[in-house]
Amino acid sequence: MLTERESPSVASLSPETAAASDGESQDAAAAIGRARGSSRPGRILSAIVVLGLLLTGVATWAAVRADDNTEQRLLAGQTRQASAVLSTAILLVQQPLTEALAAEQLVSRDRGAAVFATVMGRHVGERQSFLTGSLWRQHGERFREIRSVGTAAGVREGSPDTDAFLQHAVASGTFVVRRDTVDGQPRIAYALAEPKTGLVVYADRAVPADGRASVDRDTAFADLDYAIYLGTTASSVITTNVDPAGLPLTGRTFRTSVPFGDTDLVLVTSPHSHLGSPLSQRLPWILLVAGLLLTAASWVVARKLVRAQQQAEQNTQTITMLYRRVETLYGEQRALAERLQRSLLPHANPDIPGIEVAAEYVAGAQDVDIGGDWYSAIVVGEDSFAFVVGDVSGNGVDAVAEMARARFTLRAYLLDGNTPQTALKKCSRQFNVTDDGHIVTVLVGVGHWGTGAITLASAGHLPPLLMAGGDADFLRVPVGPPLGTGASAYCSTTVVMPEGSTLVCYTDGLVERRGQELSTGMTRLADTLGGASCKTVHALVSDLLESMRDDGASDDIAVLALRRTTR
C-alpha cells in the first residue's frame, strides 16, 4: 500500500538536489524520481491482478468442487431409485414362474400340464412377459417336456445344454438366468424348479430390438445414460440407451448391483445432463466472471489512482484512502470465499458418555443445500450436554445467515451454563422480525447423562417424541413465542429418559404436507416410530427420513435423535 512517506513528492527530494544549479544533475535526479515513482505503481497493479486472479480461482474451484460433490450424490440417489425399479421388475418376472409351478402341484399329475397351460398362458404372448413357457419333469439326469405354450423356445428335449440348464435350476434353490439366442434373436431365459417333485418351469423373453425394456422406460432412468449387465461380464449388456460402441460408460459414473436369481443385474449410470439446480451449475461461471470483472475494475481504478498520484503528489492522502477501499473490496471477496468453504465443511456429532447421537439434514427439493433448518449437540459440562433443533423461516442466503447467527448465539449461552429457558430468553433479544425479515423456532434441551434427566424449552417449535418400551409419545413442552417476535420469557419442563429410550427432535418439514393438517403428519410420525426401537439410532434416523420424506416437498428437514444406552 502506498503511504505518504513513500510518495515520490517534490518535498521528498533532498535540499542539495533541490538547490542544485547544474541542469544536467537536475535532469538526472528527476529521471531517478520518475523511475522510482513508476516502479511502485507497476508493482501495486501487478499485485492487484495476481491477488484478484488468485481469489477468483479459489472461489471458482470451491464452487466447482461443491457442484461436483452434489452431482455425485444426486447420481447415486437416482441410480438407487432406478435399482429399486429393477428390483420390482424382477419380482414381476419371478411371480409367473412361481404361480405356474405352484398351480401344477395343486392338481393331479394327469391334469398338471393342462393347468400349467392355463396359468402360464396368461403371461405368454407378444405383449406379455414371455414369448414362450414350458413345463419339464426330471427323469434321472434327463428332463422331459410335459407341456409348452408360446413360440419356439431356446431349449429342446434331449439336448445336453437343456438338461444342464434345467439341472442347474434344480440345484440352485432359486430361479436361474442365462442369455440365449433363438433364430438370431437375443433372449433372456429363466428356469425355476421344485426339487422334491422334479418339476421345472422354463420361460424366455426377447431383448427388445431397440435395446430398451419396459422397466428402463421408468422416470427413474429419465436423466441417465445407463447400461444394464447380466452378471459382471462387460460383454453381457442386456439393455442400454447409448450406442453400444460407446460402452463402457466413462466420465462420472455410478455402479450398483441388484440380485437376479442365481446372478446379479449390474446397473451402471452416467448423467447425460446436469442433475443439480441451474444455480449450482452456473455458480462457478458467475464467480469466475464476477471475479475477473472485479479484478479488471480494481485494476482500472488503481491505474487511475496511480496516474492521479503521479499528476498531483499533494493528493497522496486521498489516493491512500482509495487504495484502502480497494483492499476492503478484496477483503470482502476473500471473506465470501472463506464463508463458502466453511459452509461446505461436514460437522460431526460429539461423543457424549451414555448417549448415542445421530442426526441428518435433508434440503428441500426446490432449495437444494440452502435452507434455515439446523441441529446441534454439544458437551457443556462434566456431566451434562445440550442440544438444539431450529428452523428459520424462508430460504436462501439470508435464511442461512440467520440460522448461523441463532445457532452460535444459543451455543454461546449454553456453553456459559444457562438453562434452556434462560438461553432462549437472552437469545430472543437478538432477533427482530421487522429488521431481519425472519422468525426462528427453536427447541433447546440440556441433559445429564448420568441420571438421564433432560430439561426442555421451546420457542414456537414442535414437541419432541420419546420412544420407550415400544411406545412413541410426544412430550408436553411449554411453547413460547418464536425468536424474532419480541423479547419474551420461556418456561421449561424436565423429563427422565429411561435406559434404552430414544428422544427424537425434528423440524416441521418432516411432518408438514401441503393439503394436510399438521396433526395428520405428527400421527404418522408417532406410528412410524412406534415399532422402531430395536434399530440403531443411526438406522432409525435414516429409515425415518426414508419413510416420512416427501420427494416433492420444498421445505428442509432436520432430525436429531439421542438414545440413552443401557449400562
Annotate 358-379 with three-state secondary structure: EEEEECCCCCCCCCCEEEEEEE
| pLDDT given for residue 341 in this prediction | 29
Looking at every residue in the chain, the average pLDDT score rounds to: 81
Tally Cβ neighbours within 10 Å of residue 307.
11
Share of the chain above pLDDT 90, in %: 27
Give yes or no for residue 340 having a pLDDT over 50.
Answer: no
Residues in the chain: 567
Average pLDDT, stretch 60-69? 89
Q: For residues 442 and 505, what is the distance between their CA atoms, to the nearest angstrom?
A: 10
Phi, then psi, of 479 in degrees rounded to 5: -105, 120
Query: Higher confidence at residue 195 or residue 463?
Result: 463
Best-predicted range by mean pLDDT (81-95, 343-357, 503-517): 503-517
Asked if 166 contacts 136 with a C-beta cutoff of 8 angstroms, the reply is yes
Per-residue pLDDT at 494 exceeds 50:
yes
Q: Which amino acid is at 202?
A: Y
**Residue 315 pLDDT:** 59
Helices 316-343 and 278-311 pack at an angle, to 10 degrees, of 160
Residue 391's pLDDT band, with cuts at 50, 70 and 90, is very high
Question: Which architecture characterizes domain 107-206 according to CATH?
Answer: 2-Layer Sandwich (3.30)
Confidence of residue 18 (pLDDT cuts 50, 70, 90): very low
* Stronger pLDDT, 6 or 162, i.e. the higher one: 162
Confidence (pLDDT) at 108: 46
* Residues sharing a CB contact under 8 Å with residue 313, sequence separation 6 or more, in sequence order: 7, 8, 9, 10
- pLDDT for 92: 74
- Please report the pLDDT score of residue 409 as a whole number: 93
Predicted pLDDT of residue 280: 83
More confident residue, 488 or 136: 136
Read off the pLDDT of residues 202-250 as tens digits, 9 standing for 90 and up.
998 887 665 555 555 566 677 888 888 888 766 678 788 888 788 888 8
Please state the rounded mean pLDDT for residues 430-450: 91
pLDDT above 90: residue 261: no
The per-residue pLDDT for 123 is 87
Q: How far apart are CA 166 and CA 188, in angstroms?
A: 14
φ, ψ (nearest 5 deg) of residue 357: -120, 130
Residue 342 pLDDT > 50: no
Per-residue pLDDT, averaged over 35-43, amounts to: 66
pLDDT digits (tens, 9 = 90+) for 267-295: 899 998 888 888 888 888 898 899 899 88
Q: What is the domain partition of the chain in residue ranges? A: 10-70+278-343, 107-206, 355-564
| DSSP-based three-state secondary structure for 187 | strand
Mean pLDDT over 464-471 rounds to 90
Question: Higher pLDDT residue, 339 or 505?
Answer: 505
347, pLDDT greater than 60 = yes
Least confident of 31-35, 478-482, 495-499: 31-35
Q: Indicate the pTM of the whole model.
A: 0.42
Identify any residues that bridge with 185 across adjacent strands, giving them in sequence order. Answer: 182
Please report the pLDDT score of residue 358 as a whole number. 94
| 353 three-state secondary structure | coil
Confidence of residue 548 (pLDDT cuts 50, 70, 90): confident
Interval 135-178: pLDDT, tens: 899 988 899 988 888 877 778 888 899 999 999 999 988 899 98
Burial of 303 (0-12, 13-18, 19+ CB in 10 A): middle
Q: Is the pLDDT of residue 8 over 60?
A: no
Angle at 13 between CA 10 and CA 18, to 5 degrees: 90
107 has pLDDT over 60? no
Q: Is 545 or 213 the better-scoring residue by pLDDT? A: 545
Of residues 116 and 390, the one with the higher pLDDT is: 390
The Cα angle at residue 347 between residues 344 and 353, in degrees rounded to 5: 180
Question: What helix, strand, coil percent values describe the chain, rounded to 5?
Answer: 45, 25, 30
CB atoms inside a 10 Å sphere around CB 126:
8
Shortest CA distance to 262 belongs to which of 230, 284, 214?
230
Nearest-angstrom CA–CA distance, 161 and 532? 50
* Cα–Cα dist 29/93, whole Å: 95
CA distance 49 to 58: 14
Cα–Cα distance measured from residue 147 to residue 137, given in angstroms and rounded to the nearest whole number = 10
Q: Is the pLDDT score of 540 beyond 80?
A: yes
At 225 the three-state DSSP class reads strand
pLDDT at 346: 39
**Residue 260: pLDDT band with limits 50, 70, 90:** confident
Least confident window among 258-262, 417-421, 426-430: 258-262
Cell of 29: 535526479
In CATH, the number for domain 355-564 is: 3.60.40.10
Confidence (pLDDT) at 113: 63
- pLDDT at residue 422 tops 90: yes
* Helical (H) or strand (E) element with 502: strand 502-506
Does residue 418 have a pLDDT over 70?
Answer: yes
434 or 559, higher pLDDT: 559
User: Average pLDDT of 397-410?
Assistant: 86
Distances 542 to 291, 529, 558 between C-alpha atoms, Å:
40, 12, 12
Residue 32 has a pLDDT of: 52
Would you state the pLDDT for residue 362? 82
Closest CA to 359 of 550, 532, 502: 502
Say which amino acid occupies 74: L
Under the banding of pLDDT at 50, 70 and 90, the label for residue 120 is confident
Q: How far apart are CA 540 and CA 530, in angstroms?
A: 11
Residue 3 pLDDT greater than 50, yes or no: no
